[in-house]
Amino acid sequence: MPKKKVKKTANEKDIRHDGRKLNELRPIKIEVGVLGNADGSAYIEQGKNKILAGVYGPKEAHPKHLALPDRTRLRCRYHMAPFSVQERRSPAPSRRDIELSKVIREAFEPSVFTEYYPRTSIDIFIEVLQADGGTRCASITAASLALADAGIPLRDLVSACAAGKVDGRIVLDLDDKEDKEGEADLPLAYMSSQNAITLLQMDGMLTGEEFDQTMNLALEGCKQIYQLQKEALKAKYLEVKEAINKESEEQ
């Protein structure tokens, strides 16, 4: 049976199968400080993705023999809930979960001032509640905000977005259908103020010209998400300021 193809984009209007333009992000909703028991937390909805990130630390490293004498040890656990996809998945960490945990941790290492907290650890927990393609990028976006919410010094927020090739067209922010049936996918994480890429992966085949076009489109997506991250942080701390002012007035 031939493989079902993604609905082709219209040549005249450049509209994708879900109604988006080629260079358009999925709808994004971000909240910061959603977990009361974590040092920092954030929640993101990007399209149908729903992802929660929590940060604990810096705290004394355990076991102690894993402590680094000159910096903190970043640890990351990425996990997809059994109900996050249509067919129930095992709750045990898969090889993909382990790989993405490593990839996400490495994406944050350039942004965190790890030297400020020697012999400690910072734990990042990411739970994918619902998945619809691009979960690694959405997880990085949320976890970066959780680190900032925990008060951990950062060189910059890390924003992440993917671009790819579907039906011969270069598109931004692939959903699950486009990711599975498209020709290429390029996830990218970026620190906007530092102009530094902290993650770059690619799956599929692109020409040199297509690669440049895809990477530039992913960078533009990261810059748009960066603005949304800053707005979410600002909204959180405006709420804190209002709560403090209200408490002061009552006293």
Give the DSSP H or E segment for 127: strand 120-130
Of 146, 151, 185, the C-alpha closest to 166 is: 185
**The dihedral of CA 193, 196, 202, 207: what is its sign?**
positive
- Which whole number is the average pLDDT over 218-243? 92
Per residue in 159-193, pLDDT (tens digit) is 999 999 999 999 999 999 999 999 999 999 999 99
pLDDT of residue 12: 52
DSSP assignment of 153-199 equals: -BSS--EEEEEEEETTEEEES--HHHHHHSSEEEEEEEETTTTEEEE
pLDDT of residue 4: 47
Task: Among 52-61, 88-97, 109-118, 211-220, name the one with the lowest average pLDDT.
Answer: 88-97
Task: Give me the residues paired with residue 189 across strands.
Answer: 160, 199
Predicted model pTM: 0.91
Per residue in 46-84, pLDDT (tens digit) is 999 999 999 999 999 888 888 999 999 999 999 999 999
Spans of all domains in the chain: 28-229
- Which whole number is the average pLDDT over 215-225? 97
Q: Does domain 28-229 have CATH number 3.30.230.70?
A: yes
- Which whole number is the average pLDDT over 35-43? 96
